[in-house]
Amino acid sequence: MSSAAALALLAAPPPPVPPSLAAAPRSLTVAAGARSVLDVAVTGTAPFGYQWLRNGTAIAGATSATLTFDPTFGADAAAYAVTVTNAAGSLTSGIATLTVTPLTRISNLSVLTSLASFPDDNFTLGYVVGGASPAAPKPVLLRAAGPALGSLGVGGTLDDPRLELFVGATKTSENDNWGGDATLTSAFGSVGAFPFPSVTSRDAAAMARLTVPDNSAKITSTNAGSGLVLAEIYDATPSDRFIPATPRLLNVSVLKSLGAGLTVGFTLAGSAPKTVLLRAIGPTLGGFGIAEAVADPRLALFNSTSLKLAENDNWGGTAELTAAFAGVGAFGLPASSKDAALLATLPPGGYSVQVTGLNGTTGTVLVEVYEVP
């Protein structure tokens, strides 16, 4: 008689449990350049698969329980969700909104002024770039619009302006007629500049990719003509790619004969107030070899509705301004000089600086706008 065989019966495994949210992704608001993390926690039967969605579309490679942005760009702002799957089913979380607060910075400088018909009348735009390594070239768009102003209803315009670009004292490039260049056309749209009306217009424009701090552009008339010209500098880095390490315009300026007065416009782009230093330099220019500088410039700051926000005649040698000059790397001014300067903390928007000479006097003036750290 054979021995009884024992039959061991294994219990059937429990059925898998579908995924369930233990902690859903939460909405975040972060500053541009900061690190941000969206994550999810689930219960159920492992293993789990994850797929993150941006505005409802699957993100390639985003297949873990966390979604990290480091740094976070403005372009990352969107509505995010995650789909979690296992052997028993799947679920998709609710929406988590990622909001990115942009960096406030100087994004544009412009001056509408005139050139006389005498030979080599000119003026200069200066722009200082900083904020990152020279390994990251800074794109800047420069324009000198004359004929294009006619389409905006401006009369008496310069018929053929020319741009010459310099790094220090070295000329690096120039442009006479912009020629309908596709790269320039695209840049006009991306920075919000008005389009030139014709590919054959004699307006001038150029793109520069800067790797050194001190740069300038000289504006002249090709044929020694006279008339109004609008000269502009635009920061051409896309706004949604701006973080604190991105090179930016730290200082923009205009060196020009004052005439009856000079108005310089600038724009602050971003979301938070920014402190700027404004200067109108006349007498102190003599120490730099500039003859016939205006003896007593006055400046007034206006917002986009033409409301006067502040003004200054003689800067007065104040400790606050002296410290600001040093903080931004601006050359010093004698305490008793009749140069003008002021500090202003401004919300994002468009502004203008109007400079005149005391009692209608004229001469060369340097108008400067600095970002204050």
pLDDT digits (tens, 9 = 90+) for 306-318: 999 999 999 999 9
Please state, in angstroms and rounded to a whole number, the distance separating the CA atoms of residues 267 and 351. 6
Spatial CA neighbour of 143 closest among 193, 69, 84, 107 = 193
Q: Which of 78-87, 125-134, 247-256, 322-331 shows the lowest mean pLDDT across its residues?
A: 125-134
Spatial CA neighbour of 164 closest among 245, 220, 237 = 220
Q: Which of 114-123, 257-266, 304-313, 346-355 shows the lowest mean pLDDT across its residues?
A: 114-123
118: pLDDT confidence band, cut at 50, 70 and 90? Answer: confident
Question: Distance between terminal CA atoms of the chain?
Answer: 98
For 162-194, give one letter per residue: b (16+ CB within 10 A) or e: bbbbbbeeeeeeebbbbeeeeebeebbeebebe
Spatial CA neighbour of 310 closest among 362, 352, 365 = 352
pLDDT of residue 135: 63
User: Which CATH architecture is the domain 104-248 placed in?
Assistant: Sandwich (2.60)
pTM over 0.85: yes
Asked if domains 104-248 and 258-373 share a fold, the reply is yes
* Region for 74 from its dihedrals, namely left if φ exceeds 0, alpha if ψ lies in -120 to 50, beta otherwise: alpha
**Antiparallel, parallel or unpaired: β 96-101 and 28-31:** parallel
pLDDT at 81 > cutoff 60: yes
The ranges assigned to domains in the chain are 20-101, 104-248, 258-373
pLDDT of residue 131: 78
pLDDT digits (tens, 9 = 90+) for 359-369: 888 999 999 99
pLDDT digits (tens, 9 = 90+) for 129-140: 997 665 678 999
pLDDT at 9 > cutoff 70: no
By the 10 Å C-beta count (0-12 exposed, 13-18 middle, 19+ buried), 241 is classed as exposed
Q: What is the mean pLDDT of residues 256-281?
A: 96
pLDDT at 12 > cutoff 90: no
pLDDT at 226 > cutoff 60: yes
DSSP 149-213: GGGGT--SB-SSEEEEEEETTEEEEEES--TT-HHHHHHHHHHTPPPPS-TT---EEEEEEE-SS
What is the homologous superfamily of the domain 20-101 according to CATH? Immunoglobulins (2.60.40.10)
In this structure, the number of other CB atoms found within 10 A of the CB of residue 271 comes to: 14
CATH classification code of 258-373: 2.60.120
pLDDT digits (tens, 9 = 90+) for 45-75: 999 999 999 999 999 999 999 999 999 999 9
pLDDT digits (tens, 9 = 90+) for 195-206: 999 999 999 999
- Angle of CA points 208, 213, 216, to nearest 5°: 55
Spatial CA neighbour of 184 closest among 174, 196, 176 = 196
CB 29 within 8 A of CB 101: yes
Residues with Cβ within 8 Å of 136's Cβ and at least 6 positions away in sequence, in order, are 245, 246, 247
CB 146 within 8 A of CB 226: no
C-alpha dihedral, 302 to 131 to 193 to 168, nearest 10°:
90
pLDDT of residue 1: 45
Longest dimension (CA), the chain: 132
CB 106 within 8 A of CB 252: yes
In this structure, the number of other CB atoms found within 10 A of the CB of residue 57 comes to: 8
Please state, in angstroms and rounded to a whole number, the distance separating the CA atoms of residues 194 and 152. 10
